[in-house]
Structure 1
Amino acid sequence: MEQIKKDFEKYFYLEQKGEDLFTSTDFWKFGGSRGIFGGQIVSQTLAAAILTVDPSYHIHSLHSYFLLAGKYDKLIDFHVERTRDGRSFASRIVSAKQEGKIIFKMICSFQKEEEFLTEHQFEMPKVYPEDHPIKMKMKDRNTFLNYIHQEILFYNQAKMILKPAAPIDPEAFESFENINQKLTVDGKPRIRPPHTFNWVKIDEDLSKKPSQINTVFLACISDFCLTVTNLLPYTTGYNNQKIDRPMGVSLDHSIWFHKRFRIDDWVLFEVESPIMAKSRGFLNGKFYSKDGTHVATITQENLSRTKVFDDDLNFKIKKIHLTLDENSRIFFNNTLTRSEASTKGLEPNTTDIELFNKIKSAKPNEKLPIENFPTNKHLKSLEQSHDSSQKLPKIECIYLGKHIIRTWYTSPYPEEYSSSKLLYICEYCLKYMKSMYTFKRHYEKCGIRHPPGDEIYRDGKISIFEVDGRSSKVYCQNLCLLGKMFLDTKTLYYDVEPFLFYVLCEFDGIGYHISGYFSKEKRSVNGYNLSCIAVLPTCQRKGYGKLLIDFSYLLSKKEGVYGTPEKPLSDLGLLSYRSYWKTKISLCLNGEPISINEISKETAISPDDIISTLQSIDALFFNETKNEFEIKFLADNTKPKNDNNFIQINPKLLRWTPLVT
């Protein structure tokens, strides 16, 4: 049982917290799903039940219901109820809870294996073997198969491989050759049959693993390709209408395990949907081993919803009026009013012209005292220093945590380290080393498991630490050197004392793994709330960049001031900030009159950034007749786009007070 427990923790991230209590904090990201992939929840729940049953019992059936969508950033607790332990059968009821609510319920039955006088089964469908090339002549079929392969990319963590299969005798399956082809018969689109075949297996050697590992892997795979099959008749168009990609949600899921099998060898997965009614599709699935043995059967009912669009899309224009207080100091870092900042009608007078001509005709040594400028010797040394820094050998890769990451730019590590092609960095203290031997010795002795600062924010597995550049100087210098490998414009490496660093980490029960950071001055004369920001390549496309930007503005709101990033911004930085500003500003626009200052107070975004954002999208117009601004938005733009990667900061979870100096 101990080996099974270790395997479940390794492959399915399931940890035991009590006799009948298990938990998981890590989940696979599946396509565009708004919640955790159902197959992973099924497999984790089954694994929790197996760990409470004597190994002599083997799972033979499970029946389950999906009640709520699982959230990626919250842990799931699995509570097991021991309902029966008999001589031949045992049963368990498992409740998966997230934030105190039951999101999934399963009842499963186990049996000690018995033999009957005889056995029977229907013959396995005749399909081409997994290594047989499938000729795809039709454009739409290619599109469908590409979609399948795109989805399967998200199964890398599950170590799953999928290959579409085709029947040897297409006539045995009605219209199989047209399954992904747009046809019109008598002027109407032809329906594609909801019937698919796929070869599947796990890319892992399970020959020395207990049989329970195979059943849990199959439970995970059993939730794949179901919605796709169910909606095949409706994805090319119906009644001359364009249908957006439908949404499918699993309602209930059942599996019967008939015989033992190896999921690390190819298994045929046949799925068909005999009926779709009242937005609910019913599916049957069968698993066959390569020798034709029917090893498992699944059924599922899922809910399918979609939107139908006409050819012509009409958008309404929405006008929002903003009132401007002429006495508001919103220009030049909130120091000048509109009238004071206006240069309209200003022309140089006689005195201005005389002063300009006097300076223009002055001799070179009369411009400024020469001691205020660096000498030629200094300039030459600076140029040589700059050139030498550019000629530093580039460290090609770094080993950080469990990842080997290719670097983007040169970082001024000490010369003896810059000559290494691969640099080993401790993900906890950021100490850098040249050899794996030294790195392993350090890792065994390093007692640090989080950044050397205060944890000021935690939400699920995400934590943010505040690190003072003065009290943790070496760590912050190492952090800047690491960040320079992925930032072209960063120039701060060693002078870290005037800065605070906010380090974003992912927590997995072992330690806090660095994902990104941003820095800001302890006291900024210009009101900058962010000086530098970086997210490691292994953690990108998760929304961590916007999360850090959002967090910097949360700190500004806590301080009671407007915030703005240090200028000038890089091209990518400007795009990120414009996207963030547009999202936050749109949340404030509800059709009621609102001033720039009110938007600033609500978002902590500086008035200058608000105005520049509105101008960049051609949404801000000044009505000279009414002496007020007008915002003209498409109705669709007044609401922020759904961004699955935009993780919202929860202000209630912040534990922080502004720095007092």
Structure 2
Amino acid sequence: MVGIEEILALEHLEKDIFRGAVHPTALQRTFGGQVAGQSLVSAVSTVDESYHVHSLHGYFLRPGNPKIPTVYLVDRIRDGRSFCTRRVNAVQDGKTIFTMSASFHVDDEGIEHQDRMPSVPAPEDLPDAQTVPKLAESQFYQEWKNWDIRIVPAEQSASAPDLAAQQRVWMRYREALPDRPLLHICTLAYLSDMTLLGTSKVPHRGVKTQTASLDHAMWFLRPFRADEWLLYDQTSPSAGFGRALTQGRIYDRDGNMVAAVVQEGLTRLEREPDSHESKNSRENKTGAV
């Protein structure tokens, strides 16, 4: 399996122009977390080390082709005294597949508070998917063998009755990563897209839908390590008109809220293809958002 450091490594083509390599995958489209993570890497590469990334906002515009490389074009929007901003366009075959704005901030002092981490079983009390044959053979766990992902069973996690959809997941990268905070941030951007949209399906088990990430926003709140356990507390407050809104709060093992995520995704019902449509026409319909 290709490691996260190799996935996030970009080739520097020219000033503010980078290229991500092609990596083996069983997915038909480029994984959204990969595009977001690589976009953030390209933005970070143009910012002075005194600034720390604190937020990103991205839109998935077209499905990516995992068999061709992605080129990242960085626009230096602003370099201020406390904040700086970058815009990144991810391009394949001359077309933008993803666009992202990232904001960076120097450390300041201010008020402090946070929500309390929910009470859930420890990750050690939940089975490792790679030790459960039925899970280990699934496409999801085959694709992300390098990640230790343990879904908290609903019956072992207290949930508020007024929440429409919820799931909680322990996650960490299996191998030790270097002590480079920006690598952990970009790794978390990659990780954050894995299970979030699936939260919208929790009340609709068995309903077949066409799904794809539409937009993705993250705020990085406190230091963390992606190779240590992180609890991803996810909810989907609303779904309708073929789209679902999802949101997540990420905590470290000590209960510190380290990041927050909001995403909207496509969740329209699968349609039976018209018997008169050509094979190519059907493939084009299912391949476009």
Q: Same fold (TM over 0.5)?
A: yes
Change (3 A) 1:119 1:104: same
State how far apart, in whole Å, the 2-side matches of 1:257 and 1:97 are. Answer: 25
Displacement, 1:56? 1.3
- Structure-2 separation of matches of 1:14 and 1:150: 26
Aligned residue for 1:155? Answer: 144
After superposition, what is the alpha-carbon deviation per residue over 1:367-392, rounded to whole angstroms, capped at 9, x for unaligned? Answer: xxxxxxxxxxxxxxxxxxxxxxxxxx
Change (3 A) 1:98 1:150: closer
Q: Secondary structure at the match of 1:231?
A: helix
User: Retained in 2: the 8 A contact 1:43–1:220?
Assistant: yes
CA distance in 2 between partners of 1:308 and 1:60 (Å): 40
**Equivalent-residue separation in structure 1 for 2:25 and 2:29 (angstroms):** 9
CA distance in 1, matches of 2:182, 2:212: 27
The number of residues matched between the two structures is 275
The one-letter code sitting in structure 2 at the alignment partner of 1:201 is: R
Please list the CA deviations of residues 327-355 of structure 1 after superposition, one character each: whole Å capped at 9, or x if unmatched. xxxxxxxxxxxxxxxxxxxxxxxxxxxxx
1:164 aligns with 2:135: no
What one-letter code is carried by the residue in structure 2 that aligns with 1:196? Answer: Q
Per-residue CA deviations over 1:390-415 (Å, capped at 9, x if unaligned) read xxxxxxxxxxxxxxxxxxxxxxxxxx
State the AA in 2 paired with 1:60: H
Distance change (3 Å), C-alpha of 1:168 and 1:28: same
From 105, 117, 122, the counterpart of 2:99? 105
Tell me the equivalent position of 2:25: 29
Deviation at 1:99, TM superposition (A): 0.8
1:195 aligns with 2:166: yes
User: Residues 145-180 of structure 1, C-alpha deviation per residue, up to 9 Å, x if partnerless?
Assistant: 949954022023xx322111246864544499xxxx
Whether 1:224 and 2:165 are equivalent positions in the alignment is no
Seen in structure 2, the aligned counterparts of structure 1 residues 256 and 149 have a Cα distance that, compared at 3 Å, is: farther
Displacement after TM superposition at 1:14 (Å): 1.4
The residue aligned with 1:123 is: 116
Aligned AA (1:18): E
Question: Is residue 82 of structure 2 the alignment partner of residue 88 of structure 1?
Answer: yes
Contact 1:25 1:75 in 2 (8 A): yes
- Deviation sequence 1:174-217 (CA, Å, 0-9, x none): 499xxxxxxxxxxxxxxxx52111110112212x4210000000
Q: Which amino acid aligns with 2:121?
A: Y
**Contact persistence 1:251–1:300 (CA under 8 A):** yes
The CA deviation string for residues 556-603 of structure 1, in whole angstroms up to 9 with x for no partner, is: xxxxxxxxxxxxxxxxxxxxxxxxxxxxxxxxxxxxxxxxxxxxxxxx
Please name the residue that 2:243 is paired with. 280
Highest Rg: 1 or 2?
A: 1
CA contact (8 A) 2:9 2:20 kept: yes
User: What SS does the corresponding residue of 2:74 show, helix, strand or coil?
Assistant: strand
Indicate conservation of the 8 Å contact 2:7/2:23, yes or no: no
**Cα displacement (A) at 1:19:** 1.6
Distance (whole Å) between structure 1 residues aligned to residue 240 and residue 49 of structure 2: 41
The Cα shift of 1:229 comes to: 1.3
Contact 2:147 2:171 in 1 (8 A): yes
Residue deviations 1:268-313 (CA, integer Å, cap 9, x gap): 011110000211100011110000000000000111122367xxxx
Residue 223 (structure 1) shift: 0.5
Stretches of structure 2 that go unaligned for 5 or more consecutive residues are 284-289
Distance in 1 between residues matched to 2:99 and 2:265, nearest whole Å: 16
TM-score by length of 2: 0.85
Aligned to 2:269: 306
1:130–1:171: structure 2 CA closer, same or farther, 3 Å change rule?
Answer: closer
Runs of 4+ residues deviating >4 angstroms: 167-171
- Identity over aligned residues, as a percent? 32
For the aligned residue pairs, the C-alpha RMSD in angstroms reads 3.0
Structure 1: 5+ residue stretches without partners:
1-6, 135-141, 177-192, 237-242, 310-314, 317-634, 644-661
Question: Cα deviations across residues 18-55 of structure 1 (Å, max 9, x unaligned)?
Answer: 1200001313525xx43100000000000000000011
Distance 2:194 2:118 in 1: 19
Does 2:56 align with 1:62?
yes
Larger relative contact order (Cα-Cα within 8 Å, sequence gap ≥ 6): 2
Distance 1:171 1:93 in 2: 40
For residues 92 and 22 of structure 1, what CA distance do their matches in structure 2 show? 14
